[in-house]
A and B are shown apart, each in its own frame.
Chain A
Amino acid sequence: MSCKVCNRAVIEEGFCEWHLLAYRNLTDRFPVWQKAMEITWKDYLSQIAENSSAGNWVKEVAKYLIEKGENTNVGKS
């Protein structure tokens, strides 16, 4: 099975090794952003997708989640 973002092999949660790492970092960091800016998960993803310091794999995951409207286990505010 292919990764939701690229065509590499899936490791877990529908992501390949690279995008899984990015996805986990993305979800781990959300509470920090939430506390800092009182931001929703959706806005968080939009900001990350445009942020010049964010990594490419992270941006790809963020864009995928925005496109698919996937609400993950975090920050359903």
Chain B
Amino acid sequence: MQRLEKYTLIITEKPDAASRIAEALGNNGEARKFTENGVPYYEAHRDKKLIVVPALGHLYTVAAKKKKPLENPILDYAWVPRYEAERNPSRIKTWLQVIAKLGEEADSFIDACDYDIEGSIIGYCILKYTCGNRENEAKRMKYSTLTKEELEKSYDELMPQLDFNLINAGLARHEVDWLYGINLSRALTAAAKKAGNQYITLSTGRVQGPTLKFLALRERNIASFVPNPYWTLKAKIDFGDNVLEANHERIFEVEAEAKATATHCKSRNGKITRIEKRQFRQNPPFPFDLSSLQVEAYRLFKIAPKQTSSAAQKLYLDALISYPRTSSQKLPAQIGYQKILKNLAKIREYTLLAGELLAKDHLKPNEGKKTDSAHPAIYPTGKKPAKPLVGAEKSIYDLVVRRFLSTFGDSALRQTSKVILEIGGQNFTLSGMQTLKQGWLQFYGSLGILRENPLPSMNEGDEVSVKKIRPEGEFTEPPPRYNPSSLLRKMDQENVGTKATRAGILQTLYERKYIHGERITVTELGFEVTDVLRKYCPSIASVEFTRRLEEKMSEIQQGKENKSGVIAEAVEILKPVIASLKENEKPIGEKLFRAGRQATLEERIIGECPTCHSGKLIITHSKRTGKRFVGCSNYFKGTCKTAFPLPQRGFVKPTNKSCKECGWMTVLVWPKGKRPWNLCLNPQCSQKRRSIKK
């Protein structure tokens, strides 16, 4: 690396962004790619020579200063390169060496990482620690899309310095989260290890604790729910060519009363006594912020929040959509509505829809209240994808485009109809719903299909013939389980975590075996961790506590609070909590160890034993040969000898699904480097015989 000419070193967050920025800033879109020890960087020429080098996301992290023995609690920490703190640092050491070398020859620096808390910390750490305290002289590029036009504008109008308020807020968040995470998780893990002499990975933290608490509270309400019986009366009526179902206006709490009313109304004709119609406007949706995008992607496509986040990030790096980690629901006019629509009109799928909006006299999006000082809401840049999109990226891109178009649409006009029928002196109702004017719904396409249940044309005084009346027994339902989408919404409403961290927290809860399933169920281990926090350190699991810290960090961002003061306050809260956990280590450890073992066992349970019906089929190992098999839990007690062989190689886990052919339980077998397949346990299953014949 021999470079005599001085240059500006531009630091980006990811390699894709580096290549795009270099090409956007280079004269005639030209940039030369170099690779040093596997680290790519780009040379471009504009007003002067530019070297654009990417980071690999976070290259630095918070870690304990002292190695061993660690004090309790650990309060002495520093920002260190990730290779010093993590077990699998991959290429980070080389990466930092290359950036440091490039930094030596540079005469000016620009931080071009994403303009948010995480991006600002990435740039700051590299400038401070890798490039030798260049953070105070560096300038900042601020952009929301990776389009050439916006990148050029951002370079021409550089911010004179880094946004230190944003950086301090980010550093404070990382440091407080690290202090809480490491100390609390260590206390729980150590307690469980002491109790069982076995290592179980346990964790909790400032955001994880309250999130698990929401889930545990809901699970508790569901698990202890006793339904109430009630009865509804349904009347099947003939009206012209239509058979309709009307409901009695009342809910019956006593079965005998419902039956008596049904008997009274039987064999009588009905008469329409009143028709009520109400029209209402349904406004276009707001443009997406990250949380609402994740919620909608889950609702429509069942794409997990973390996957949505990754797909959106990829689309952003391809300059197809704006920066996705935003909490804004605003689309400022400066983004250029007309220009985006004109470009979208060049994409076949959106030609007609974009054309329709372009024909409007005035374009005004329907915006929500939420704002973000750094970025607007998520919108498509209008750039045509270079190659056809597939999978989650395709769905997310289409969703972002359609949502963007919809926000400019007119309100939809909907109508509800309520028809009151009198049958034997009792009031029954028919309900209908229909869309009279599509408005924005046409832009949302198949994603915006609403419930349609139009009623036939009816008039007051019309007679209807009653075919059948019957009481139907029903039960009240427990509160619904959270799913990834509704949990993210709840976290957003309660101001727990940030748009960038929520999906990761949810993932951690799954990985720790605190929860399972798409309709989230809390495991015994999840309950016990919540219970420990509730009993021994209630402040940690309190929403109020984490919300107050979030507010403090926002205040740092606004320059109203001081980073060290906020951290000192957080440490003072933490100290007695750790002391309490230490003091009660024995009962805590016993609870957690037992629940941890149970969680591991539950992961291996396939279902009820088909032979003895009292034991459970479990994936286990032979004590004699060490071979893996499925056996009844009563096998070792000697009361049931049911057992099924399993393949000895690859990963095996219960599917919780029955065999389509014979209805027996199945397990998933995933041989290393091969495709996973389902194995039916029934030795007589015809599907199995067929696969053997093949």
Q: Which A9-38 residues sit within 8 Å CB-CB of chain B?
A: 18, 21-22, 25-26, 28-29, 32-33, 35-38
Cβ–Cβ < 8 Å partners of B222 in chain A:
55
Number of B interface residues, CB 8 Å? Answer: 19
**Number of interchain pairs (Cβ within 8 Å):** 57
Scan A31-57; emit 1 where CB is below 8 A from any B CB, else 0.
011011110000000001001011111
The yes or no answer to B255 lying at the interface (CB within 8 A) is: yes
Contact with A along B473-511 (1 / 0, CB 8 A): 001111000000000000000000000000000000000
Stretch at the interface among B224-232, B271-279, B406-414: B224-232
Q: Report the bound CA distance from A38 to B257 in whole Å.
A: 12
Which residues of B are found within 8 Å of A51, using beta-carbon distances?
A: 227, 475
* Shortest Cβ gap from B316 to chain A (Å): 43
Chain A: residues with Cβ within 8 Å of the partner, total of 21
Does B254 interact with chain A (Cβ within 8 Å)?
Answer: yes
A21-B224, A25-B226, A37-B229 given; A53·B255 CB < 8 A: no
Residue of A nearest to B227 (CB): A53
- How many Å lie between the Cα of A48 and that of B229 in the bound state? 11
Q: Do A53 and B475 touch (CB < 8 A)? A: yes
Contact A55–B228 (Cβ < 8 Å): no
**Which residue in B229, B477, B478 is a CB contact (below 8 Å) of A33?**
B229
Tell me which of B223, B256, B475 contacts A55 (CB under 8 A): B223
Within the complex, the shortest CB–CB distance from B94 to chain A, in Å, comes to 52
Select which of A18, A32, A53 is within 8 A of B225 by beta carbon.
A53
Confirm or deny: B627 has a beta carbon within 8 angstroms of a beta carbon on chain A. Answer: no
A18-B220 Cα distance, complex, nearest whole Å: 8
Contact in complex: A55, B226 (CB < 8 Å) = yes
Q: With an 8 A cutoff between CB atoms, is B76 at the interface? A: no
Judging by beta carbons under 8 Å apart, are A32 and B228 in contact? Answer: yes
Residue of A nearest to B225 (CB): A55
Most buried by A among B220, B225, B255, B475: B225
Task: Enumerate chain B residues within 8 angstroms of A28, measured Cβ to Cβ.
Answer: 226
Q: Which of A22, A35, A38 contacts B224 (CB 8 A)?
A: A22
With both beta carbons as reference points, the residue of chain B lying nearest to A35 in the complex is identified as: B254
Shortest Cβ distance from residue A21 to the other chain B in the assembled complex, whole angstroms: 5
* Residues from chain A with Cβ under 8 Å of B220 in the complex: 18, 21
Structural contact, A55 and B224, CB atoms closer than 8 A: yes
Complex: A58 Cα to B226 Cα, angstroms: 7
User: CB < 8 Å: which of A18, A33, A36 contacts B223?
Assistant: A18
A21 to B527, CA, bound (A): 15
Residues of A within 8 A of B583 (CB): none
The reply on B253 being an interface residue by CB < 8 A is yes
Q: What B residues does A35 contact at CB under 8 A?
A: 253-254
**A18: B residues at CB distance < 8 A:** 220, 223-224, 527
**Identity of the chain B residue whose Cβ is nearest the Cβ of A58 in the assembled complex:** B226
User: Is there an interface contact between B228 and A22, defined as CB atoms closer than 8 Å?
Assistant: no
**Closest residue on chain A to residue B258 by CB atoms:** A36
A48 to B475, CA, bound (A): 11
Q: Mark B247-276, 1 if CB is under 8 A from A, else 0.
A: 000000111100000000000000000000
Q: How far is the CA of A29 from the CA of B222 in the complex (A)?
A: 15
Q: Kindly supply a per-residue 1/0 record for chain B positions 208-232, scoring 1 wherever the CB is within 8 Å of any chain A CB and 0 otherwise.
A: 0000000000001011111111100
* B177–chain A nearest beta-carbon distance, Å: 30
Partner of B226, one of A26, A37, A38: A26
Q: Which residues of A contact B254 (CB under 8 A)?
A: 35-36
Asked if A25 and B225 make an inter-chain contact with CB atoms under 8 angstroms apart, the answer reads yes
Given contacts A35-B253, A35-B254, A36-B253, contact A54 B229 (CB under 8 A): no
In the complex, chain A residues whose CB is within 8 Å of the CB of B253: 32, 35-36
Query: Taking CB as reference atom, which chain B residue is nearest A29?
Result: B226
What distance in Å separates the Cβ of B530 from its nearest Cβ neighbour in chain A?
12
Closest A residue by C-beta to B531: A17
Cα distance, A48 to B498, chains bound together (Å)? 42
Do residues A48 and B226 form an inter-chain contact, with CB atoms below 8 A? yes
Residues 72-124 of B contacting A (Cβ, < 8 Å): none
- Distance (Å) between the CB of B551 and the closest chain A CB? 33
- Decide if A36 touches B224 in the complex (CB within 8 Å): no
Instruction: Give the docked Cα–Cα distance between A38 and B253 (Å).
Output: 12
Q: For residue A69, give the distance in angstroms from its CB to the closest CB of chain B.
A: 19
Roughly how many angstroms separate A38 CA and B229 CA in the complex, as a whole number?
12
In the complex, which of the residues B255, B477, B527 contacts A37, with contact meaning CB atoms closer than 8 Å? B255
CA A18 – CA B216 in complex, angstroms? Answer: 12
Q: Which of A26, A38, A48, A53 contacts B477 (CB 8 A)?
A: A53
Considering the chains assembled together, what is the distance between the CA atoms of A11 and B220 in angstroms?
16
Tell me which residues across on chain A come within 8 A of B475, comparing CB atoms.
51, 53
A18 to chain B, nearest CB (A): 7
B223, A57: Cβ atoms closer than 8 Å: yes
Given contacts A18-B224, A25-B226, A48-B226, contact A55 B255 (CB under 8 A): no
Q: How far is the CA of A38 from the CA of B342 in the complex (A)?
A: 70
Complex interface: chain A residues within 8 A of B223 (CB): 18, 22, 55-58
Considering the chains assembled together, what is the distance between the CA atoms of A25 and B316 in angstroms? 51
- The CA of A55 and the CA of B255, in the complex, are separated in Å by 23
Q: How far is the CB of B519 from chain A (nearest CB, A)?
A: 14
A29 touches B228 (CB 8 A): yes
Q: From B222, B223, B256, B477, name the one whose CB has the most chain A CB atoms within 10 angstroms.
A: B223
In the bound complex, CA of A29 to CA of B230 (Å): 13
B222 to chain A, nearest CB (A): 5
Task: Name the contact of A36 in the complex, choosing from B225, B226, B255, B478 (C-beta under 8 A).
Answer: B255
26 contacts between A and B (CB under 8 A): A18-B223, A18-B224, A18-B527, A22-B223, A22-B226, A25-B224, A25-B225, A26-B226, A29-B226, A32-B228, A36-B229, A36-B230, A36-B254, A38-B256, A48-B226, A53-B225, A53-B475, A53-B476, A53-B477, A54-B225, A55-B226, A55-B478, A56-B223, A57-B223, A57-B224, A58-B223
Closest 9 CB pairs of A and B: A53-B227, A55-B223, A55-B225, A29-B226, A57-B223, A22-B224, A53-B475, A21-B224, A25-B226
**7 more A-B residue pairs beyond the given contacts A28-B226, A36-B254, with a C-beta to C-beta distance below 8 A:** A18-B224, A22-B223, A33-B229, A36-B230, A51-B227, A55-B222, A58-B223
Partner-A contacts on B (CB < 8 A) = 220, 222-230, 253-256, 475-478, 527
A interface, CB within 8 angstroms of B:
18, 21-22, 25-26, 28-29, 32-33, 35-38, 48, 51, 53-58
